[in-house]
């Protein structure tokens, strides 16, 4: 008798197979599993959050408890990053909007995988994206906005102690670009920190890819 593995993200066998491959840096196996999920009509957002994010959170918990080495954690996150770069065909949208978003992490923030997912979801929704990645210095961000004139900025922070950098960035943007919407998210807000966002009239908090998708589907692009 043959058993069929149901390729859904909530299937624990699927998740555990992925986790095991990720922690061993087996990109090929990770790619096969995520590929099968996407072929079985699972959405990219579902794969991102319920497979890759879930696995990386588990990696973080194991690292925090001293159960895995820093090297294993680095291998898992590097494997996840290279995997995410494979999904381009699932991201390109036929429905291109005129709007551009500048996406990156606040100063001193090196966790860039979550914001790469965010960038991909903007792109999937038709936006032009400029992905700046980890730790963008405030002055650099301001001068890049000045050159490229985006319609929105999206910033990520995972570390609570980076909130003062966010505040500094939002202060600079309030002064130089008072009409520019700035979306903010990330794990730093798990236990508070929203008061920093609330001080800035143009800043909007979004929790995850589902709420981002909802926000984008109700967003009125310029000229439309």
- Contact set with ligand B12 (CB under 6 A): 49, 53, 56-57, 59-61, 64, 73-74, 77, 81, 108-115, 117-118, 154, 156, 158-160, 183-187, 206, 208-209, 212
Mapping DSSP to helix (H, G, I), strand (E, B) and coil, where does residue 151 land?
coil
Q: How far is the CB of 105 from ligand B12 (least distance, A)?
A: 8
Q: How far is the CB of 156 from ligand B12 (least distance, A)?
A: 3
Which of 1, 65 has the CB closer to ligand B12?
65
The pair of three-digit structure tokens given for residue 41, joined into one six-digit string:
């009509």
Euclidean distance between CA atoms 156 and 188, whole angstroms: 9
Which of 74, 194 has the CB closer to ligand B12?
74
Which of 6, 74 has the CB closer to ligand B12?
74
Mapping DSSP to helix (H, G, I), strand (E, B) and coil, where does residue 1 land?
coil
Q: How far is the CB of 57 from ligand B12 (least distance, A)?
A: 4
Q: With contact defined as beta carbons under 8 Å apart, do 207 and 117 qualify?
A: no
3-state DSSP helix/strand/coil % of the chain, to nearest 5: 55, 10, 35
Q: How far is the CB of 158 from ligand B12 (least distance, A)?
A: 5
Euclidean distance between CA atoms 173 and 92, whole angstroms: 30
Which of 5, 20 has the CB closer to ligand B12?
20
Q: With contact defined as beta carbons under 8 Å apart, do 102 and 77 qualify?
A: no
């Amino acid at each position: 008798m043959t058993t069929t593995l149901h390729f859904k993200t909530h299937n624990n066998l699927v998740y555990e197979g992925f986790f095991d491959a990720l922690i061993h840096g087996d990109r090929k196996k990770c790619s096969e599993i995520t590929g099968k999920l996407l072929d079985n009509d699972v959405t990219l957002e579902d794969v991102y959050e319920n497979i890759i994010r879930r696995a990386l959170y588990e990696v973080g918990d194991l690292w925090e408890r001293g159960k895995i080495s820093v090297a294993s954690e680095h291998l898992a996150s590097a494997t996840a990053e290279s995997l995410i770069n494979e999904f381009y065909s699932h991201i390109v949208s036929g429905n291109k909007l005129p709007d551009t978003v500048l996406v990156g992490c606040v100063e001193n923030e090196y966790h860039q995988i979550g914001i790469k997912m965010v960038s991909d979801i903007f792109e999937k929704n038709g936006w032009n994206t400029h992905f700046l990645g980890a730790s963008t210095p405030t002055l650099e961000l301001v001068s890049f906005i000045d050159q490229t004139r985006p319609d929105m900025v999206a910033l990520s922070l995972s570390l609570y102690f980076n909130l003062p950098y966010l505040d500094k960035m939002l202060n600079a943007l309030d002064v130089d670009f008072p009409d520019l919407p700035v979306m903010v998210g990330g794990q730093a807000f798990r236990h508070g920190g929203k008061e920093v966002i609330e001080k800035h009239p143009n800043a909007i908090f979004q929790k995850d890819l589902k709420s981002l998708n909802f926000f984008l589907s109700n967003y009125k692009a310029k000229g439309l």
